[in-house]
Amino acid sequence: MSIDKTIKDIQTSFNKEFSTIASASALEEIRVKFLGRKGLVNDLFEMFNQLPNAEKPKYGKSINILKTDITQAIEDKQASFQENTVTSSIDLSLPGIQLKRGSIHPLEAITSEIKSIFQSIGFSIAYGPEIDDEYHNFEALNVPKHHPARDMQDTYYIDPETVLRTHTSNVQIHLMEEQEPPLRHICVGRVFRNEAVSYKSYCLFNQVEGLVVNETTSFAQMKGTIEYFITELFGADTKMRFRPSYFPFTEPSAEVDIWNDKLQQWMEIMGCGMVNPKVFNNVGYPSNIKGYAFGMGIERIAMIKYGINDIRLFYQNDQRFLEQF
């Protein structure tokens, strides 16, 4: 029998027998039969040794390949039998190792989202004092002492000239006192209102305000920026409207509503407007300067976004509430 034929026969019979193997012991039998000391592959090598030297290179390579193939196939099969043994010995139905999750407060989560939307369009973030003088909280913002506009924000006083800020707008004044235009900032922080605590009002809330100041901005640009922001935060399909309103520090002023499909009504989401020239005058900016400002309450946005119906939940820190975010 030619060695060539023997190689092919061994290959064929290995393939045939190998394909029917169902157990580790059967595999072992085959291993011995083919690769054992007295196995078929070794026999083949003996035949090979008796070949004339001139013919050896011709068959050496194919015999080696045959041996490697068979060895590889058997090792792979062995490994797969072992794996099966391991898997079948564990109860896959047991729960995974549960690591308790922590959470970011929902107000923080919304604030971060808002910050990053504005940072992506070139706004810096500014912070300022929660206790400030009346001048920075009111007068500089064109809210004179005896003006009915004071009634819009019930104020906590520390002493007759010092207040817990009622909005983050005091930061805008500090910014403008410290920096020359142009400005492009949002101010973030906690603000206080002297209101009775109920499901819809709390004695404090978190605010984000924006301020853009340069020589060329306009109401139309403000509208564009706010529309961009709202669609980023609430989705591209959000229906919104701008309507005239009143804030002492902006003129013209607007209120922005978004449409709530579930309630079938408009919901106030933020206030905005062109910075009142009187405010620029108070901080000593030149008269050709223009700007716009806007502001929103984070609690309100979080309540709309997450469907939360009681503002007090934000400050109760019930684990069952916190872990949902």
Partner 1 sequence: MKISLSWLKRHVDFSWSASELAERLTLRGFESEVATDFSTLDHVVVGQVISCQKHPDADKLSLCKVSDGSTEFDVICGAPNVATNQKIVFAKVGAILPGNFKIGKAKIRGIESHGMICSERELGISEEHEGILVLDDKAKVGTSIEKVLGPLFNAIEVEITPDKGFALSHRGIAREIAAMTNQSLKIPFSLQKPKQNTSLEKISIDLDSKGGCTRYIGAVMNDVKVGPSPDWLKNYLKSVGQKSINNLVDISNFILLEIGQPTHIFDFSKFKKRTVAVQWAKEKEKYHALDEETYELSQNHLVITDSKETVALAGIIGGYDSAVTDMTTEVLIESAYFDPIIIRKGSKKLGLLSEASRRFERGIDPNSSMEALLIIIQLIEEIAGGKLSSQITDSCAVNLESKKLYLSEINLNSVIGQITPKKEITSLLKQLDFNPKETKDGWECLIPTYRHDIDQEADLVEEVLRSIGYENIQSDFTYQTTLVNTKDDEYSISKLKNHLSSLGFSQCYNNSLQDISEVNAFGINPIEVLNPTSERMNTLRTTLHQGLLKNLDYNFKNGNADVQFYEYGTIFSKEGEGLSGINQQSSFSSLVHGNWQDNNVHFKSIPLSFYYLKGVLENINVHFMSTKLKFITNKHPYLDSYQDIVDSKGDSIASIGTVKSSFLRKLDIAHKHPVHLMDINLQTFDQYSNYAVKFQEIAPYPKVIRDLNFKLSSSVIIGDVVKVMQSTNQSILIDVKPVDIFKKSKQDSDQDVLFKLTFQSDKKTLEDNDVNPIINDVIKIISSKFKGILRDK
Contacts of partner 1 in 241-300 (CB under 8 A): 241-246, 248, 251-255, 274, 276-278, 290
Asked if 103 is part of the footprint of partner 1 (rule: CB under 8 A), the reply reads yes
**CA separation for the pair 214, 195 (Å, rounded):** 36
Asked if 125 contacts 244 with a C-beta cutoff of 8 angstroms, the reply is no
Q: According to CB under 8 A, which one of 15, 82, 119, 198 is a site residue for partner 1?
A: 119
Asked if 314 is part of the footprint of partner 1 (rule: CB under 8 A), the reply reads yes
Asked if 17 is part of the footprint of partner 1 (rule: CB under 8 A), the reply reads no
Asked if 311 contacts 195 with a C-beta cutoff of 8 angstroms, the reply is no
**CA separation for the pair 146, 225 (Å, rounded):** 34
Stated as kind and residue range, the H or E segment containing 120 is helix 106-120
Q: How far is the CB of 308 from partner 1 (least distance, A)?
A: 13
- Looking from the CA of 130 toward its CB, the CA atoms found within 13 Å total 11
Choices 33-41, 44-52, 75-83, 98-106 (CB under 8 A): range interacting with partner 1:
98-106
User: Would you say 14 or 294 has its CB closer to partner 1?
Assistant: 294
Long-range own/partner contacts, residues 158-163 (CB < 8 A, 24 or more apart): 158/131, 161/133, 161/134, 162/131, 162/132, 162/133, 162/134, 163/131, 163/132, 163/133, 163/134, 163/137, 163/138
Please state whether beta strands 290-297 and 265-275 pair in parallel, antiparallel, or not at all (unpaired). Answer: antiparallel
Per the rule left: phi > 0, alpha: psi between -120 and 50, beta: everything else, 111 is alpha
**Alpha-carbon 71 to chain mean position:** 51
Asked if 199 is part of the footprint of partner 1 (rule: CB under 8 A), the reply reads no
Instruction: Classify 256 as helix, strand or coil.
Output: strand
Q: According to CB under 8 A, which one of 17, 28, 108, 139 is a site residue for partner 1?
A: 108
Asked if 164 is part of the footprint of partner 1 (rule: CB under 8 A), the reply reads yes
- Rg over alpha carbons for the chain, rounded to the nearest Å, is 39
The pattern of x and - marking residues 123 through 162 that bind partner 1 according to CB under 8 A reads xxx-x-xxxxx------------xxxx-xx---xxxxxxx
Q: How far is the CB of 138 from partner 1 (least distance, A)?
A: 13
Asked if 317 is part of the footprint of partner 1 (rule: CB under 8 A), the reply reads yes
Q: How far is the CB of 262 from partner 1 (least distance, A)?
A: 17
Q: How far is the CB of 181 from partner 1 (least distance, A)?
A: 10
Choices 22-30, 31-39, 223-231, 303-311 (CB under 8 A): range interacting with partner 1:
223-231
Q: According to CB under 8 A, which one of 197, 198, 239, 261 is a site residue for partner 1?
A: 197
Those residues whose C-beta lies under 8 Å from the C-beta of residue 153, and which sit 6 or more positions away, are 166, 167, 193
Asked if 178 is part of the footprint of partner 1 (rule: CB under 8 A), the reply reads no
Asked if 73 is part of the footprint of partner 1 (rule: CB under 8 A), the reply reads no
User: Would you say 14 or 123 has its CB closer to partner 1?
Assistant: 123
